[in-house]
Amino acid sequence: MAGDVWVVVETLRGEVSEITYTMLAAGRQLADGLGAKLTALVLGNETEALAGTLGVADQAICIDHAELAEFNPEVHLRVLGAVLEEQKPRLVLLGHTAIGTDLACGVAQRLSWPLAVGCRSFTEDSDEPQYSALTCGGKLIATGPLPGPSCVVTVMPGGYKPEDGMADKAPPIEALAVPGGFEAARTRFKAYIEPPAGDVDISKEPILVSVGRGVQTQDNIALAEELAKVLGGVVCGSRPVVDQGWLPTTRLVGKSGKQVKPKLYLALGISGAPEHAEGMRDAELIVAVNQDETAPIYGFAQYGATVNVLELMPALTEVLRKN
């Protein structure tokens, strides 16, 4: 309804994604602060089964259609746009994800509602709720109001605990008919492509030597490999290294890669952008080496050193070998 806080539930292959619970935790706080209801909106196929853990919300609105079974940016956007235009919630929360941002940008532009992406937390210490978003690779925090009557935000992990948005019960469910037809849709989901099998599973490795842009060239990956070998671990990396083709995608840590919680995460030449932090900030011990002393990674590593990683890798390998 108008004035309420809505969370657009994110699902992938028929399962509720963790970001949904982060959003519900944020949404609960916002709704309570505004004295509004919290609504979970579920677009999908056989959506009732998905609502079983959404009980932190006051209600779930379920829109069911076979065409909504898998994410189709065009079709989902049309349905979401039509529902939001009619219901006019005060705030709409979507995940800062491959699914959520496709929808958030489209729907905000369509309805001319203000949009803030990459929000990590919200406050209500004035008349209007305020957003706090990470920008410039996590080096800056942008803050501002979320003006009425309606705003769209995307939420990234870090500000709220998913456990606080999770319940073992379903909220009251209202089924809503699909607002429009899909006849003219020009976008069609075809199939999933499974991740390549056969490589090590970095999410199960206790020791990870992780390399970022600071490794500079493909040849230097060998230095990390040698270090990992004497440490008894494996090499993984951040997005730029994988995009350069220096490591396979199976070794990618972060938002679009794997979530890892090793005993040791040795981050070498990694800045610690939010997308990367998402995948590794829960590691037991994070040691970061980066010559940029303002690198965001030092905000969540336990130990750090600002020496050159290309010099440190062989030096560290050497010391470990000697002992």
Partner 1 sequence: MDIAVLVKFVPDLVEELEIDEDTGMLDRAFLRLMPNELDEHALEQALLLKERHGGTVTVFTLDTGDVDETLFTAIAKGADRVFKIVGEGFDEGASNHRQAAVFQEALQGTSWDLILAGTQAVDDLDGFVGALLAQRLELPYIGYLTKVVLQDGGALVQKEYPGGLNADIEVACPAVLGIQAAEQPPRYVVTSKVMEAMKSATIEEIEAPEVEIAGEIPLAGMSLPEAGAQAEMIEGDVADVAESLVKLLRERGVVA
What residues from 285 to 304 belong to the interface with partner 1 (CB under 8 A)?
285-289, 292, 294, 296-304
**CA–CA dist 30, 26 (Å, integer):** 6
Minimum distance from residue 171 beta carbon to partner 1 (Å): 26
Q: Are 11 and 1 in contact (CB under 8 A)?
A: no
Nearer to partner 1, 62 or 94 (CB): 94
Work out which of 187, 200, 204, 216 binds partner 1, going by CB under 8 A. 187
Q: Are 72 and 45 in contact (CB under 8 A)?
A: no
Nearer to partner 1, 55 or 254 (CB): 254
By CB under 8 A, residue 121 contacts partner 1: no
**CA–CA dist 158, 137 (Å, integer):** 14
**Neighbour tally for 136: CB within 10 Å:** 10
**CA–CA dist 318, 18 (Å, integer):** 41
Q: How many residues does the chain have?
A: 323
Nearer to partner 1, 171 or 279 (CB): 279
**CA–CA dist 209, 225 (Å, integer):** 8
Q: Are 157 and 22 in contact (CB under 8 A)?
A: yes
Minimum distance from residue 106 beta carbon to partner 1 (Å): 5
Beta strands 115-123 and 151-155 are parallel
Q: Per CB under 8 A, which region of 28-36, 53-61, 92-100, 160-168 contacts partner 1?
A: 92-100
Give the tokens for residue 298: 């030092």
**CA–CA dist 91, 154 (Å, integer):** 11
Work out which of 163, 168, 194, 219 binds partner 1, going by CB under 8 A. 194
By CB under 8 A, residue 216 contacts partner 1: no
**Binders of partner 1 in range 39-78 (CB under 8 A):** 70-74
Q: Per CB under 8 A, which region of 29-37, 46-54, 102-110, 167-175 contacts partner 1?
A: 102-110
Work out which of 30, 108, 156, 236 binds partner 1, going by CB under 8 A. 108
By CB under 8 A, residue 222 contacts partner 1: no
73-87 and 100-111 helices, crossing angle to 10°: 50
Give the tokens for residue 263: 């005993």
Q: Per CB under 8 A, which region of 31-39, 43-51, 127-135, 167-175 contacts partner 1?
A: 127-135
Size of the site for partner 1 (CB under 8 A): 101
**Binders of partner 1 in range 255-284 (CB under 8 A):** 255-259, 263-264, 271, 273
Work out which of 127, 168, 191, 217 binds partner 1, going by CB under 8 A. 191
Work out which of 162, 244, 261, 282 binds partner 1, going by CB under 8 A. 244
Nearer to partner 1, 15 or 86 (CB): 15
Q: Per CB under 8 A, which region of 23-31, 54-62, 171-179, 249-257 contacts partner 1?
A: 249-257
Nearer to partner 1, 4 or 10 (CB): 10
| 3-class state of residue 17 by DSSP | coil
**CA–CA dist 265, 238 (Å, integer):** 12
Say if residue 149 is preceded by a cis peptide, omega within 30 of 0.
yes
Q: Are 269 and 214 in contact (CB under 8 A)?
A: yes
